[in-house]
């Protein structure tokens, strides 16, 4: 029998002698890597709720294992927490979800799906960073890969867009990121539909021209006085 399973059974027997009720959802024997993955999946929601103050007892209860199994699998609680944070911050699930968007869908549907996924990602990252502290910054290559995936999704409409698809990808990322934190917008929230519509038609439903003013614009009053002669 697996030594860890034996240890769990012994822990339950010892608990029974102390009058404790055995856990009803004790884990079945698993290969070591699968057991680690199961424990990590169980600890992520606890991290979001309790931060680094989560106890090994809470983790064991959530995973349906004995506390000793945690330490045999990871050595110490901090190593487990770090493994859980790294999995949570892994951008590959987001990339996979974006790749699953059908490029043949109507543009507005694709924009909505992209914005939804990006904003969910930013909100979830902020939730865990808030409670466990800042982790490694995104690698520039990761941002480039996301932009490339989004550009491929938008490629069928490339001739209809006001910017190249890869540029639009960064615009969608910017919109999604800023909307993920209502505090940055004085508490004003935007729905996914709002954001998709902003991306699709802007605020006036038509593109505006880029122009260079004759005299330097240094204040809002200057901009208002000069107007935007290149707009139509």
Q: What is the pLDDT of residues 104-163, one digit of tens each?
A: 999 999 999 999 999 999 888 888 877 777 655 555 566 789 999 999 999 999 999 999
Q: How far is CA 94 from CA 23, 50, 64, 83, 120, in A?
A: 35, 25, 28, 18, 9
Share of the chain above pLDDT 70, in %: 70
What is the Cα–Cα distance from 150 to 154, expressed in whole angstroms?
Answer: 6
Whether residue 229 is predicted with pLDDT greater than 50 in this model: the reply is no
CATH class of 3-88: mainly alpha
Residue bearing tokens 């055995």: 22
3-state helix, strand, coil in the chain (%, to 5): 70, 0, 30
Q: Is the pLDDT at 58 greater than 90, yes or no?
A: yes
pLDDT of residue 30: 73
Residue 172 or residue 9, greater confidence: 172
Indicate if 90-214 has the same CATH topology as 3-88.
yes
In this structure, which topology does domain 90-214 adopt according to CATH?
A: Tetracycline Repressor; domain 2 (1.10.357)
Q: Cα–Cα distances in Å, from 73 out to 11, 30, 31, 39, 41?
A: 16, 12, 11, 9, 14
Q: Other CB atoms closer than 10 Å to residue 152's CB: what's the count?
A: 16
Q: Which of 31-35, 89-93, 178-182, 215-219 has the highest mean pLDDT?
A: 89-93
Q: How confident is the model at residue 217 (pLDDT cuts 50, 70, 90)?
A: very low
**Alpha carbon 26 to its chain's center:** 30
DSSP assignment letter at 204: T
CA 137, chain centre distance (Å)? 13
Domain ranges of the chain: 3-88, 90-214
């Amino acid at each position: 029998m697996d030594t860890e399973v034996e240890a769990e059974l012994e822990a339950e027997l010892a608990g029974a002698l102390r009058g404790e009720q055995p856990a009803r959802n004790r884990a079945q024997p698993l290969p070591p890597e699968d057991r680690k993955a199961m424990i990590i999946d169980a600890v992520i929601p606890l991290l979001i709720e309790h931060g680094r103050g989560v106890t090994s007892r809470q983790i064991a209860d959530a995973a349906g294992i004995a506390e000793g199994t945690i330490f045999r699998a990871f050595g110490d609680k901090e190593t487990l927490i770090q493994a859980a944070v790294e999995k949570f911050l892994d951008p590959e699930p987001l990339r996979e979800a974006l790749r699953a968007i059908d490029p043949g869908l109507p543009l507005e549907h694709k924009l909505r799906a992209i914005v939804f996924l990006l904003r969910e990602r930013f909100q979830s990252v902020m939730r865990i960073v808030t409670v466990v502290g800042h982790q490694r910054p995104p690698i520039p290559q990761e941002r480039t890969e996301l932009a490339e995936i989004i550009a491929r999704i938008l490629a069928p409409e490339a001739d209809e867009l006001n910017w190249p698809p890869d540029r639009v990808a960064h615009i969608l990322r910017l919109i999604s990121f800023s909307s993920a934190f209502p505090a940055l917008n004085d508490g004003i929230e935007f729905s996914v539909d709002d954001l998709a519509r902003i991306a699709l038609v802007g605020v006036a439903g038509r593109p505006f021209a880029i122009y260079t003013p004759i005299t330097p614009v240094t204040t809002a009053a200057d901009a208002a006085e000069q107007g935007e002669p290149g707009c139509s």
